[in-house]
Structure 1
């Protein structure tokens, strides 16, 4: 699977030129066979270093390498994948806080989704 389309790459690069903004995640990557979720908001000019929320057992904001992600080889000749259905309007700060309180990006996604479905838009109190 192609991890970044040209359109996604350009969006991430544009966000990368606008540092210190609370960007909405552009793309979600995941390990289809285990733990590992990444929400990317920015791509540096080097076209490798991404910034966003990473969860490899504990969610944290930071940088990660696109090249490293594309080089991961999992069993059954699988690799890291892009969630082609991913869409959000929540900035990375909200997602990071939710993930840290919930303990993982995946648990936070379920909580945020359920909150939105029950009509509590804007109420993200997870404590």
Structure 2
């Protein structure tokens, strides 16, 4: 996926493997910090992704908000994001200046309170 360099894909995969191992051991998962922020430059959609599925690296987990919806934790296919175009035909972009300062759960709680993702 062109919008995600290999270093980011590697971190997402590492986080996914860590949580898969914890689930298999019957432990609670880690509330990772988001690794990447994606957004539609011509719309209100935002994604803060923290991990990808080890068994299907096309599936990412994170905090999602579509332009018409409310923020929620969930999964999304990276191939769908790569193919998506906004209202003006622009592709999804990666926020090159994003630096996570909290866990994904904290971002989710802030987003519920604010009615949108603040990152």
TM-score, length-normalised on structure 1? Answer: 0.79
In our comparison, the structure showing a higher alpha carbon Rg is 1
Q: Which has the higher contact order (CA 8 A, sep 6+)?
A: 2
Once the two structures are TM-superposed, the CA of residue 3 in structure 1 deviates from its matched residue by 1.5
- Write out aligned runs for 1:1-127 (5 A): 2-19=2-19, 20-45=29-54, 46-56=56-66, 57-74=69-86, 77-105=89-117, 108-109=118-119
Structure 1, unaligned stretches of length 5 or more?
Answer: 110-127
**Dislocated runs of 4+, deviation >2 Å:** 73-77
Show structure 2 runs of 5+ residues with no match: 20-28
CA distance, structure 2, for counterparts of residue 53 and residue 86 of structure 1: 14
Give the superposition deviation at 1:18: 1.6
How many pairs were matched up?
107
Tell me by how many angstroms 1:33 deviates: 0.4
